[in-house]
């Protein structure tokens, strides 16, 4: 008995895809389709154009994005119940490449979630700028989205002693964000600390 390894094929056009090392995303060289490696499913990926000229090397950093919905039924803040029926809907952005430390992931995620890059110019290829491998699985990104949501509640004034909430984060796709790397990553879009 022998085990035959099937080559990875593009779910859209059937071309054989050359898997590149540790990246959790493959892109079909023939039709450009993005494939999530752990499951082989097609995913939506947007590529944003560079807006800033900065020192350092250019890269594209993958961000996992989630349609997020949360309702806080009640919170117990140091002895009293407060805030009934608060919540909302937003897009959570999780930077998921470049081996960022946890606090950087949270900081950048909060910056993008507060100021989503909706009006930015989308382009249809990476234009020879290397993309950083996607390092975070989308299931884990979902947990990070919940962690970040809870961290907002913890950061409010008063000591949070209890919370009753519902939370959902549905994976939407990947946004490739232009960055420069020189000792650390700087976002190459206006309004994210690089200008
Ligand atoms: Zn293809």
Q: Are residues 26 and 74 in the same domain?
A: no
Output the pLDDT for position 156: 77
d(CA 175, ligand 1 centre) in Å: 19
d(CA 136, ligand 1 centre) in Å: 23
Q: Are residues 33 and 104 in the same domain?
A: no
Strand partners, 90: 68
Q: Are residues 108 and 36 in the same domain?
A: no
Q: Work out how many domains the chain is built from and give that number.
A: 2
- Confidence category of residue 161, pLDDT binned at 50, 70, 90: confident
Output the pLDDT for position 19: 72
Please tell me the pTM assigned to this model.
0.91
Q: Are residues 92 and 11 in the same domain?
A: no
d(CA 173, ligand 1 centre) in Å: 18
d(CA 124, ligand 1 centre) in Å: 15
Query: Alpha carbon 99 to chain centroid distance?
Result: 13
- The structure tokens 């590529």 sit at 47
Is 2 within a domain? no
- The answer, yes or no, to whether residue 186 has pLDDT greater than 80, is yes
Distance CA 178, CA 58 (A): 7
Is 116 within a domain? yes
Closest CA to 98 of 51, 126, 127, 60: 60
Q: Helices 138-155 & 102-114, crossing angle to 10 degrees?
A: 80
Output the pLDDT for position 100: 96
Taking a C-beta distance cutoff of 8 angstroms, is the pair 194, 52 a contact? yes
Domain span at 141: 44-120+133-187
d(CA 67, ligand 1 centre) in Å: 27
Q: Are residues 17 and 62 in the same domain?
A: no
d(CA 18, ligand 1 centre) in Å: 11
Give how far Cα 118 sits from Cα of 26, 75, 193, Å. Answer: 24, 32, 17
- The answer, yes or no, to whether residue 159 has pLDDT greater than 90, is no
Is 128 within a domain? no
- Confidence category of residue 107, pLDDT binned at 50, 70, 90: very high
d(CA 78, ligand 1 centre) in Å: 56
Distance CA 159, CA 115 (A): 27
Q: Are residues 112 and 145 in the same domain?
A: yes
Q: How many CA atoms lie within 13 A of 151 on its CB side?
A: 13
Q: Are residues 58 and 92 in the same domain?
A: yes
d(CA 178, ligand 1 centre) in Å: 24
Is 103 within a domain? yes
pLDDT digits (tens, 9 = 90+) for 61-106: 999 999 999 998 888 887 666 666 667 999 999 999 999 999 999 9
Strand pairing category for 41-43 and 34-36: antiparallel
Is 181 within a domain? yes
Output the pLDDT for position 194: 85
Q: Are residues 111 and 93 in the same domain?
A: yes
Output the pLDDT for position 69: 96
- Confidence category of residue 125, pLDDT binned at 50, 70, 90: very high
Q: Are residues 96 and 175 in the same domain?
A: yes
Output the pLDDT for position 84: 62
d(CA 7, ligand 1 centre) in Å: 13
Q: DSSP letters of 69-93? A: EEEEEEEEETTEEE--SEEEEEEEE
Q: Are residues 12 and 75 in the same domain?
A: no
Q: Are residues 31 and 61 in the same domain?
A: no
Q: Are residues 16 and 48 in the same domain?
A: no
Is 195 within a domain? no
């Amino acid at each position: 008995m022998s085990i035959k390894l099937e080559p990875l094929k593009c779910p859209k056009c059937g071309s054989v895809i050359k898997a590149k090392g540790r990246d959790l995303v493959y892109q079909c060289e023939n039709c450009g389709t993005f494939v999530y490696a752990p499951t082989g499913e097609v995913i939506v990926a947007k590529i944003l154009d560079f807006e800033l000229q900065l020192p350092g090397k250019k890269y594209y950093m993958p961000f996992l994005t989630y349609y997020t919905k949360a309702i806080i039924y009640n919170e117990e803040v140091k002895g009293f119940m407060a805030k009934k029926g608060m919540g909302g809907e937003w897009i959570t952005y999780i930077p998921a490449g470049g081996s960022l430390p946890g606090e950087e992931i949270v900081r950048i995620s909060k910056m993008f979630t507060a100021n989503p890059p909706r009006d930015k110019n989308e382009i249809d290829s990476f234009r020879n700028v290397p993309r950083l491998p996607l390092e975070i699985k989308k299931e884990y990104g979902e947990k990070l989205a919940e962690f970040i949501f809870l961290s907002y509640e913890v950061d409010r004034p008063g000591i949070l002693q209890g919370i009753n909430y519902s939370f959902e984060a549905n994976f939407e796709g990947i946004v490739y964000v232009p960055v420069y790397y020189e000792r650390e990553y700087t976002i190459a879009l206006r309004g994210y600390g690089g200008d």
